[in-house]
Amino acid sequence: MAEQPTRALPGLQRLIETVARLRAPDGCPWDREQTAASMAPHLLEEAYEAADAIRRERVEAVQEELGDVLVNVAMISQIESEGDRFDLEQVAARAAEKLIRRHPHVFGDRKADSAELAYRSWEQQKKQEQAAAGDASPRGALAGVPLALPALLRAFRVGEKAARSGFDWPDRSGPRAKVDEELRELDEAIAGGDQDRVTAELGDVLFSLCNLARHVGANPEVALARTTDEFQRRFSCIEEEFGYELQGRPLAELDAAWNRAKQSRSGNG
């Protein structure tokens, strides 16, 4: 496959130069104090803000928030370059090389006619790279799921990886029955009054729901975010109706207002 010509990226080059200027001896005191470790939480926060803008389909905000993510990547790379470890060019080059290596069905002669086959090709290539690098230690199927992921998303990804190793129900009836089983155990724990057990059983319910979500083709993180957005919208309608004074109002009155808010936008259950 012929290589595509490299385009000039003046915007990216300007960002690199701007970040280097901020880190210069006469640059910004705050930026000069930062380390890769101190920037890591900012990188995570900006990634969440970018994901939020994408979910809300706000095009201008997406562009701005992705820019903030890129600023953090550029800043961390600049910090590392000052220690002669690597720079943004090396980060980008290594990322491109990895993408090419792990997509032999695009850049090579392998075939992958579905997303599942493409994923398997990626994982196979990844294992080959680890073996070539001398990493012969056994790696479990769940390796690589970041502990820092939000708990719901981490549960979903762990379930995905376990399923790809063959540890899964044959159809959705299995995880659906498991939800009922875990709910019964949660009820028992609540009745028993043992808070530690309640917490454990609630975790089991949430994990079983993640497995069910996978079987019905839904992402639980997306589903819960959508529901939370809708709850906020309806709750705001109630607040506006009562002048933001809800304390002390009868539950029946609030419930009626909730139903009015629910009906104010058709198509929402």
Give 41-52 pLDDT, tens digit per residue.
Answer: 899 999 989 998
Residue 28 lies in a domain: yes
Q: DSSP readout, 171-195?
A: STHHHHHHHHHHHHHHHHHHHHT-H
pLDDT classification of 165: cutoffs 50, 70, 90: confident
Average of per-residue pLDDT across 219-224: 92
The whole domain housing 20 covers 10-86
Which stretches within the chain are classed as H helix? 10-22, 29-33, 36-55, 59-82, 88-101, 104-107, 115-132, 151-164, 173-192, 195-215, 220-241, 251-263
Question: How does residue 177 score in pLDDT terms, banded at 50, 70 and 90?
Answer: very high
Counting residues of the chain whose pLDDT is more than 90, the rounded percentage is: 70
Sign of CA dihedral 108, 112, 118, 120: negative
Residues 6+ apart with CB under 8 A from 1: 107
Model-level pTM? 0.68
Q: How confident is the model at residue 268 (pLDDT cuts 50, 70, 90)?
A: very low
Q: What is the pLDDT of residue 269?
A: 44
In a domain, 46, yes or no: yes
Q: Does the pLDDT at position 241 exceed 70?
A: yes
Mean pLDDT of the chain: 90
Predicted pLDDT at 259: 92
Q: What is the pLDDT of residue 250?
A: 93
How far apart CA 212 and CA 218 sit, in angstroms, is 9
Domain assignment present for 204? no
Domain annotation covers residue 150: no
Task: State the chain's maximal CA–CA distance in angstroms.
Answer: 71
| Within-domain flag for 67 | yes
Half-sphere exposure of 77 (CA within 13 A, CB side): 19
> Which of 94-108, 111-125, 134-148 is least confident?
134-148
CATH code of residue 43: 1.10.287.1080
Whether 134 has a pLDDT exceeding 80, the answer reads no
List CB contacts of 137: < 8 A, sequence separation 6 or more.
none
Give yes or no for residue 37 having a pLDDT over 80.
yes
Q: What is the pLDDT confidence band of residue 1, given thresholds at 50, 70 and 90?
A: very low
User: Does residue 107 lie in a domain region?
Assistant: no
Domain count, the chain: 1
- Across 10-24, 116-130, 199-213, least confident range: 116-130
Q: Is 19 domain-assigned? A: yes
For residue 79, tell me if it sits in a domain: yes
Quote the DSSP letter at residue 6. Answer: P
